[in-house]
Amino acid sequence: MARTRVLIADDHALIRDSLASYLLRSIPDVQVDGAANLSEALNAAAEAKRANAPFSLALLDLRMPGMHGLKGLARFRAAHPDIPVGFLSGLAEAQHVEQAKTLGAMGYLPKREDGKRFIEGVRTILAGKAFWPTGPDGAPVSAYDHNGDGPWQPDSRPPPTFTPRERAVIDCLARGLSNKVIAGNLDVQEVTIKMHLRHICAKLGVSNRTQAALRLRDLGFLATE
Protein backbone atom coordinates (compact mmCIF):
# COMPACT_ATOMS: atom_id res chain seq x y z
CA MET A 1 0.00 0.00 0.00
CA ALA A 2 1.38 3.37 -1.01
CA ARG A 3 2.28 5.72 1.81
CA THR A 4 0.05 8.74 2.31
CA ARG A 5 1.99 11.81 1.24
CA VAL A 6 0.73 15.36 1.78
CA LEU A 7 2.15 18.63 0.46
CA ILE A 8 1.54 21.75 2.55
CA ALA A 9 2.32 24.92 0.60
CA ASP A 10 2.33 28.10 2.69
CA ASP A 11 4.82 30.94 2.83
CA HIS A 12 5.00 30.97 6.63
CA ALA A 13 7.12 28.22 8.19
CA LEU A 14 5.23 28.47 11.47
CA ILE A 15 1.90 27.71 9.78
CA ARG A 16 3.39 24.89 7.69
CA ASP A 17 4.97 23.27 10.72
CA SER A 18 1.84 23.64 12.85
CA LEU A 19 -0.34 21.99 10.22
CA ALA A 20 2.26 19.29 9.61
CA SER A 21 2.35 18.58 13.34
CA TYR A 22 -1.41 17.99 13.35
CA LEU A 23 -1.08 15.55 10.44
CA LEU A 24 1.84 13.63 11.91
CA ARG A 25 0.01 13.17 15.21
CA SER A 26 -3.30 12.17 13.65
CA ILE A 27 -2.71 10.18 10.46
CA PRO A 28 -0.65 6.96 10.65
CA ASP A 29 2.40 6.65 8.41
CA VAL A 30 1.88 10.01 6.72
CA GLN A 31 4.73 11.85 5.04
CA VAL A 32 4.45 15.64 4.98
CA ASP A 33 6.40 17.84 2.57
CA GLY A 34 6.47 21.63 2.54
CA ALA A 35 6.70 24.43 0.00
CA ALA A 36 6.88 28.20 0.52
CA ASN A 37 5.49 29.35 -2.83
CA LEU A 38 3.73 28.09 -5.94
CA SER A 39 6.96 27.42 -7.83
CA GLU A 40 8.25 25.20 -5.02
CA ALA A 41 4.90 23.40 -4.87
CA LEU A 42 4.90 22.71 -8.61
CA ASN A 43 8.49 21.46 -8.48
CA ALA A 44 7.85 19.28 -5.43
CA ALA A 45 4.86 17.66 -7.13
CA ALA A 46 6.89 17.02 -10.29
CA GLU A 47 9.78 15.51 -8.32
CA ALA A 48 7.43 13.29 -6.34
CA LYS A 49 5.86 12.00 -9.55
CA ARG A 50 9.28 11.28 -11.08
CA ALA A 51 10.19 9.33 -7.94
CA ASN A 52 7.00 7.28 -8.34
CA ALA A 53 5.82 8.59 -4.97
CA PRO A 54 3.15 11.15 -5.93
CA PHE A 55 1.34 13.27 -3.39
CA SER A 56 -1.96 11.96 -2.08
CA LEU A 57 -3.06 15.54 -1.42
CA ALA A 58 -1.76 19.07 -1.97
CA LEU A 59 -2.88 21.91 0.29
CA LEU A 60 -2.22 25.33 -1.23
CA ASP A 61 -2.41 28.68 0.55
CA LEU A 62 -4.13 31.20 -1.70
CA ARG A 63 -2.03 34.09 -0.39
CA MET A 64 1.47 32.67 -0.81
CA PRO A 65 3.85 34.08 -3.46
CA GLY A 66 3.06 33.05 -7.01
CA MET A 67 -0.54 32.03 -6.35
CA HIS A 68 -2.37 35.24 -7.29
CA GLY A 69 -5.41 33.71 -5.65
CA LEU A 70 -7.23 31.10 -7.68
CA LYS A 71 -4.98 31.61 -10.71
CA GLY A 72 -2.31 29.63 -8.91
CA LEU A 73 -4.78 26.91 -8.06
CA ALA A 74 -5.67 26.65 -11.74
CA ARG A 75 -1.96 26.42 -12.67
CA PHE A 76 -1.34 23.64 -10.18
CA ARG A 77 -4.40 21.69 -11.34
CA ALA A 78 -3.34 22.04 -14.98
CA ALA A 79 0.19 20.82 -14.23
CA HIS A 80 -0.84 18.02 -11.86
CA PRO A 81 -4.45 17.02 -12.56
CA ASP A 82 -4.07 13.68 -10.78
CA ILE A 83 -3.27 15.22 -7.38
CA PRO A 84 -6.30 16.05 -5.21
CA VAL A 85 -6.07 19.69 -4.14
CA GLY A 86 -7.49 21.59 -1.21
CA PHE A 87 -6.92 25.26 -0.60
CA LEU A 88 -5.88 26.92 2.64
CA SER A 89 -7.07 30.36 3.62
CA GLY A 90 -7.73 32.39 6.72
CA LEU A 91 -10.84 33.88 5.12
CA ALA A 92 -12.60 32.79 1.94
CA GLU A 93 -15.62 34.40 0.33
CA ALA A 94 -18.43 32.36 -1.18
CA GLN A 95 -17.47 33.23 -4.76
CA HIS A 96 -13.92 31.98 -4.18
CA VAL A 97 -15.25 28.66 -2.95
CA GLU A 98 -17.52 28.26 -5.97
CA GLN A 99 -14.71 29.18 -8.37
CA ALA A 100 -12.38 26.71 -6.66
CA LYS A 101 -14.96 23.97 -7.15
CA THR A 102 -15.15 24.69 -10.87
CA LEU A 103 -11.35 24.44 -11.04
CA GLY A 104 -11.49 20.95 -9.60
CA ALA A 105 -10.46 21.63 -6.00
CA MET A 106 -11.63 18.98 -3.56
CA GLY A 107 -12.02 21.18 -0.52
CA TYR A 108 -11.34 24.21 1.60
CA LEU A 109 -9.35 23.99 4.84
CA PRO A 110 -10.00 27.11 6.98
CA LYS A 111 -6.84 28.01 8.90
CA ARG A 112 -8.91 29.74 11.55
CA GLU A 113 -10.52 26.42 12.54
CA ASP A 114 -9.11 24.15 15.22
CA GLY A 115 -6.85 21.16 14.58
CA LYS A 116 -9.64 18.59 14.77
CA ARG A 117 -11.55 20.31 11.99
CA PHE A 118 -8.41 20.52 9.87
CA ILE A 119 -7.78 16.78 10.27
CA GLU A 120 -11.43 16.05 9.47
CA GLY A 121 -11.04 17.93 6.21
CA VAL A 122 -7.80 16.19 5.26
CA ARG A 123 -9.22 12.75 6.00
CA THR A 124 -12.35 13.52 4.00
CA ILE A 125 -10.38 14.55 0.92
CA LEU A 126 -7.97 11.61 1.26
CA ALA A 127 -11.05 9.35 1.24
CA GLY A 128 -11.98 10.80 -2.14
CA LYS A 129 -14.79 13.03 -0.89
CA ALA A 130 -15.21 16.79 -1.10
CA PHE A 131 -14.87 18.97 2.00
CA TRP A 132 -16.61 22.34 1.82
CA PRO A 133 -17.52 23.38 5.38
CA THR A 134 -20.30 25.94 5.70
CA GLY A 135 -21.89 28.05 8.40
CA PRO A 136 -25.58 28.13 9.42
CA ASP A 137 -26.67 30.02 6.29
CA GLY A 138 -24.59 27.96 3.87
CA ALA A 139 -21.78 30.51 3.60
CA PRO A 140 -18.16 29.28 3.82
CA VAL A 141 -17.36 28.53 7.44
CA SER A 142 -14.55 31.11 7.43
CA ALA A 143 -17.20 33.81 7.23
CA TYR A 144 -17.95 32.96 10.84
CA ASP A 145 -15.96 33.39 14.00
CA HIS A 146 -13.85 30.48 15.25
CA ASN A 147 -16.77 29.21 17.39
CA GLY A 148 -19.27 29.44 14.53
CA ASP A 149 -21.46 31.70 16.68
CA GLY A 150 -21.69 34.76 14.45
CA PRO A 151 -20.24 36.65 11.50
CA TRP A 152 -16.47 36.85 11.50
CA GLN A 153 -15.09 40.31 12.03
CA PRO A 154 -11.48 41.48 11.68
CA ASP A 155 -9.79 41.72 15.04
CA SER A 156 -10.03 45.36 16.07
CA ARG A 157 -7.92 45.04 19.20
CA PRO A 158 -4.70 47.07 19.31
CA PRO A 159 -1.52 45.07 18.62
CA PRO A 160 -0.09 43.52 21.79
CA THR A 161 3.25 44.56 23.21
CA PHE A 162 5.83 41.80 23.52
CA THR A 163 8.89 41.68 25.73
CA PRO A 164 12.31 41.39 24.04
CA ARG A 165 12.46 37.70 24.99
CA GLU A 166 8.97 37.07 23.59
CA ARG A 167 10.02 38.78 20.35
CA ALA A 168 13.04 36.49 20.20
CA VAL A 169 10.75 33.47 20.62
CA ILE A 170 8.43 34.79 17.89
CA ASP A 171 11.39 35.21 15.53
CA CYS A 172 12.36 31.58 16.16
CA LEU A 173 8.78 30.41 15.65
CA ALA A 174 8.65 32.22 12.32
CA ARG A 175 11.64 30.11 11.22
CA GLY A 176 9.76 26.93 12.10
CA LEU A 177 12.01 25.94 15.00
CA SER A 178 10.85 23.47 17.65
CA ASN A 179 10.59 24.38 21.33
CA LYS A 180 13.71 22.34 22.04
CA VAL A 181 15.77 24.11 19.39
CA ILE A 182 14.47 27.52 20.47
CA ALA A 183 15.47 26.74 24.05
CA GLY A 184 18.97 25.82 22.88
CA ASN A 185 19.30 28.95 20.77
CA LEU A 186 18.20 31.20 23.63
CA ASP A 187 20.13 29.22 26.27
CA VAL A 188 17.11 28.53 28.47
CA GLN A 189 15.11 25.47 29.53
CA GLU A 190 12.39 24.15 27.22
CA VAL A 191 9.80 24.71 29.97
CA THR A 192 10.69 28.41 29.83
CA ILE A 193 9.93 28.51 26.10
CA LYS A 194 6.56 26.87 26.75
CA MET A 195 5.84 29.55 29.34
CA HIS A 196 6.71 32.29 26.82
CA LEU A 197 4.45 30.63 24.24
CA ARG A 198 1.55 30.62 26.69
CA HIS A 199 2.10 34.31 27.35
CA ILE A 200 2.32 35.07 23.61
CA CYS A 201 -0.91 33.16 22.90
CA ALA A 202 -2.66 34.90 25.80
CA LYS A 203 -1.63 38.33 24.51
CA LEU A 204 -2.88 37.40 21.04
CA GLY A 205 -6.13 35.95 22.37
CA VAL A 206 -5.54 32.57 20.72
CA SER A 207 -5.13 29.00 21.93
CA ASN A 208 -2.56 27.33 19.67
CA ARG A 209 0.43 27.90 17.37
CA THR A 210 -1.56 27.96 14.15
CA GLN A 211 -3.96 30.61 15.42
CA ALA A 212 -0.98 32.52 16.82
CA ALA A 213 0.71 32.39 13.41
CA LEU A 214 -2.38 33.80 11.69
CA ARG A 215 -2.70 36.62 14.19
CA LEU A 216 1.03 37.41 14.07
CA ARG A 217 0.91 37.45 10.26
CA ASP A 218 -2.09 39.80 10.30
CA LEU A 219 -0.16 42.09 12.64
CA GLY A 220 2.92 42.05 10.42
CA PHE A 221 5.19 40.13 12.79
CA LEU A 222 5.81 37.26 10.34
CA ALA A 223 7.78 37.85 7.17
CA THR A 224 7.17 35.66 4.13
CA GLU A 225 9.97 33.42 2.90
pLDDT (0 to 100) of residue 134 = 65
- State residue 115's pLDDT score: 79
Q: Where are the beta strands (DSSP E) in the chain?
A: 4-9, 30-35, 57-61, 85-89, 107-110
Residue 204, amino acid: L
The CATH class of the 164-219 domain is mainly alpha
CA 1 to chain CA centroid, nearest Å: 27
Mean pLDDT by 10-residue block, N- to C-terminus, for the chain (225 residues)? 88 87 91 97 97 96 91 96 90 75 91 81 95 62 41 58 93 85 94 94 84 78 67
Which strands make up the sheet holding 4-9, listed edge to edge? Answer: 30-35, 4-9, 57-61, 85-89, 107-110
The predicted structure's pLDDT at residue 121: 93
pLDDT for 135 equals 54
- What is the structure's pLDDT at 223? 63
Q: What is the pLDDT of residue 208?
A: 79
Identical topology for domains 4-127 and 164-219: no
- What CATH number labels 4-127? 3.40.50.2300
Q: What is the pLDDT of residue 202?
A: 92
**The pLDDT value given to residue 91:** 64
- Rounded to the nearest 10°, the torsion over CA 92, 98, 104, 109 is 30
Q: What residue ranges do the domains of the chain occupy? A: 4-127, 164-219
Q: What is the pLDDT of residue 225?
A: 59
Question: Measuring CA to CA, which residue among 177, 178, 206 is closest to residue 114?
Answer: 206
Q: What is the pTM of this model?
A: 0.75
